[in-house]
Amino acid sequence: MAQHNIDVQNSFEGVCSLFHNLQSGEKELIRRNFTCSFYRKGEIIYKEGDKPSGLVCLTKGKVKIFKEGVGGRDQIMRMAKPIGFIGYRALFADENYIASAQALEDSVICVIDRTVLLEILKMNAELTLHILRSVATELGFSNNRTVTLTQKHIRGRLAESLIFLRDTYGFEDDGQTIKVYLSREDLANLSNMTTSNAIRTLSAFSEEGVLELDGRRIKVLDVHKLERISDLG
Amino acid sequence: MAQHNIDVQNSFEGVCSLFHNLQSGEKELIRRNFTCSFYRKGEIIYKEGDKPSGLVCLTKGKVKIFKEGVGGRDQIMRMAKPIGFIGYRALFADENYIASAQALEDSVICVIDRTVLLEILKMNAELTLHILRSVATELGFSNNRTVTLTQKHIRGRLAESLIFLRDTYGFEDDGQTIKVYLSREDLANLSNMTTSNAIRTLSAFSEEGVLELDGRRIKVLDVHKLERISDLG
DNA sequence: TCTAAAACATGATTTAAAGCATAATTTGGA
DNA sequence: TCCAAATTATGCTTTAAATCATGTTTTAGA
Q: How many residues are recorded in chain A? A: 233
What is the interface pTM, i.e. ipTM, of the complex?
A: 0.94
| A43 in any annotated domain | yes
In which residue ranges of chain B is pLDDT below 70?
A: 1-4
- Among B104, B125, B149, identify where a domain stops: B149
Eight-class DSSP state of A4: G
Give domain status of residue A61, yes or no.
Answer: yes
The secondary structure element, H or E, covering residue B39 is: strand B34-39
The rounded percent of chain B whose pLDDT value lies above 70 is 98
Residues B191, B90 share a domain: no
A169, A209: one domain = yes
Structural domain span for residue B172: 153-232
B219 CB neighbours strand D below 7 A? no
A165-174, A194-203, B67-76, B223-232: segment of lowest average pLDDT: B67-76
Classify residue A32: in a domain, yes or no: yes
pLDDT band at A2 (very low <50, low <70, confident <90, very high): very low
Check whether residue B56 and residue B103 sit in a common domain: yes
Check whether residue B30 and residue B131 sit in a common domain: yes
How confident is the model over A63-99, as pLDDT tens digits?
999 999 877 789 999 999 999 999 999 999 999 999 9
Among candidate residues B149, B175, B192, the one where a domain is terminated: B149
* A108 and A55 part of one domain: yes
Evaluate whether residue A143 is within a structural domain: no
Chain C positions with an atom below 7 A of a protein C-beta are 7-12, 16-21, 26-27
What's the pLDDT score for residue A4? 65
pLDDT at A72: 76
Structure confidence by residue, pLDDT tens digits, B177-216: 999 999 999 999 999 999 999 999 999 999 999 999 999 9
Model confidence at A119: pLDDT above 70? yes
pLDDT of residue B1: 40
Buried b / exposed e over B45-72, threshold 16 CB at 10 Å, is bbeeeeebebbbbbbbbbbbbbbebbee
Do B11 and B79 share a domain, yes or no?
A: yes
pLDDT of residue B46: 97
Hey, is the C-beta of B133 within 8 angstroms of any chain A C-beta? yes
Residue after which a domain boundary falls, among B129, B149, B169 = B149
Provide the pLDDT for residue A1.
40
- Do A107 and A6 belong to one domain? yes
> Which residue type does A210 have?
V
- For residue A45, the domain's CATH number is 2.60.120.10
Residues B213 and B157 in one domain: yes
What residues of B are in contact with residue A118 (Cβ under 8 Å)?
129
Question: Helix, strand, or coil here: A69?
Answer: coil
Which of A120, A143, A153, A228 has the highest number of chain B CBs within 10 A, making it the mutation to test binding with B? A143
- Asked whether residue B38 falls in the same domain as residue B111, the answer is yes
Count of Cβ atoms closer than 10 Å to residue B21 Cβ: 12
Distance (Å) of CA A21 to CA A31, A99, A127, B122, B225: 16, 30, 6, 12, 53
pLDDT-derived band of residue A232, with 50, 70 and 90 as boundaries?
Answer: confident
B60/A contact by beta carbon, under 8 A: no
pLDDT at A6 over 90: no
The CATH number of whichever domain residue B202 belongs to comes to 1.10.10.10
> Do B71 and A151 count as a contact with CB atoms less than 8 A apart?
yes
Contact between A77 and A67 under an 8 Å Cβ cutoff? The reply is yes
Overall number of domains in chain A = 2
Based on the domain organization, do A167 and A188 belong to the same domain?
yes
Give backbone dihedrals phi and psi of B221, rounded to 5 degrees, phi first. Answer: -85, -35
For residue range A206-225, what is the model confidence (pLDDT) as tens digits? 999 999 999 999 999 999 99
- Distance from A220 to chain B by nearest Cα, in Å? 24
